[in-house]
A and B are shown apart, each in its own frame.
Chain A
Amino acid sequence: MSAIEATTALPADVSDVRLALTSGHAVVDRAELTVRRGEIVGLVGESGSGKTTLALSMLGFTRRGVHIDGGSIKISGRELTTEPERELRRLRGRFVSYVAQDPGTALNPGMRIGAQLREILAVHFPDRDPAVEVPRALERVSLPTTAAFQRRFPHQLSGGQQQRVVIAMAVIGSPPFIVLDEPTTGLDVVTQARILEEISRLRVELGVAMLYVSHDLAVVGQIADRVAVMYAGTVVEEGPTLEVLARPRHPYTRALVNAIPDHAEPRRLVGLPGVALGVVDRPPGCPFAPRCPQRTDACGEMPPIEQVGDRHELRCFHWRTTPSLSWESPATTQRAEREERALLSVESLTAGHGNGPIVAHEVSFEVGRGESVALVGESGSGKTTIARCIAGLHPATGGRILLDGAPLAHGRKRPRDARRRMQIVFQNPYDSLNPRQRIGASIDRPAVLLRGFSAAQARAETERILELVRLPKRLLDRYPRELSGGERQRVAIARALVAAPELLICDEITSALDVSVQAAVVELLAQLRVELGLSLLFISHDLGVVAAVCDRVLVLDRGHVCEQGDVAKVLHEPEAEYTRTLLGSVARLPQRT
Chain B
Amino acid sequence: MSATAAPLAMQRRGRRRVRWLRSPSGRLGLLLCAIVLLVAFVGPLFAPHTPTEVITRAYAPHGHAGLALGSDYLGRDVVSRVLWGGRSLIIMPLLATLVAYVIGGVLALIATVVGGWLGELLMRGFDVLLVFPGLLLALLLVTALGKSLTTAFIAIVLLQIPAVARIFYSAAIEVTNRGYVEAAVARGERLSHLLTREILPNIAGTIAADFGPRLIASVFLIAALGFLGFGAEAPDANWALMITENRSGITINGYAVFVPVAAIAMLTIGVSLVSDAIARSIGTADDEAIG
Question: Contact residues of A with B, CB < 8 Å?
Answer: 47-48, 275-281, 391-393, 411-412, 414, 416, 419, 423-424, 426-428, 430-437, 442, 445-446, 449-450, 479-485, 492, 495, 499
Contact = CB atoms under 8 A, between A and B. Distances in A.
B1 A47 contact: yes
Contact of B4 (A279, A479, A482): A279
Contacts of A392: 186
Interface stretch (B5-13, B36-44, B219-227, B251-259): B5-13
B146 to A, nearest CB: 45
B187 A450 contact: yes
A531 to B, nearest CB: 23
A280 B198 contact: no
A277 B186 CA distance: 35
Interface string B154-192: 000000000000000000000000111011011111000
Contacts of A279: 4
B187 A485 contact: no
Contact of B186 (A393, A431, A479): A393
Contact of A275 (B3, B8, B201): B3
**Interface band, chain B:** 20 to 34
B187 A449 contact: yes
Contacts of A276: 3
A424 B3 contact: no
Nearest to A232: B3
B290 interface: yes
B68 interface: no
26 contacts: A48-B1, A48-B3, A278-B7, A280-B7, A393-B185, A393-B186, A411-B185, A419-B187, A419-B188, A424-B186, A426-B182, A426-B183, A427-B179, A430-B2, A431-B178, A432-B178, A432-B180, A434-B197, A446-B187, A449-B187, A450-B187, A479-B13, A482-B9, A484-B2, A492-B179, A499-B187
Most buried by B among A280, A392, A481: A481
A451 B144 CA distance: 57
A393 B197 CA distance: 19
B198 A434 contact: yes
Contact of A481 (B3, B182, B201, B288): B288
B202 interface: yes
A195 B182 CA distance: 36
A147 to B, nearest CB: 41
B179 A426 contact: yes
Contacts of B234: none
Contacts of A281: 7
Contacts of A423: 186-187
Interface string B83-119: 0000000000000000000000000000000000000
A416 B189 CA distance: 10
Contacts of A424: 183, 186
Contacts of B291: 481
A534 to B, nearest CB: 17
A512 to B, nearest CB: 10
A275 B7 CA distance: 12
A414 B3 contact: no
Contact of B202 (A277, A434, A479): A434
A484 B183 contact: no
Given A411-B185, A431-B178, A278 B4 contact: yes
Most buried by A among B7, B13, B186: B186
A417 to B, nearest CB: 11
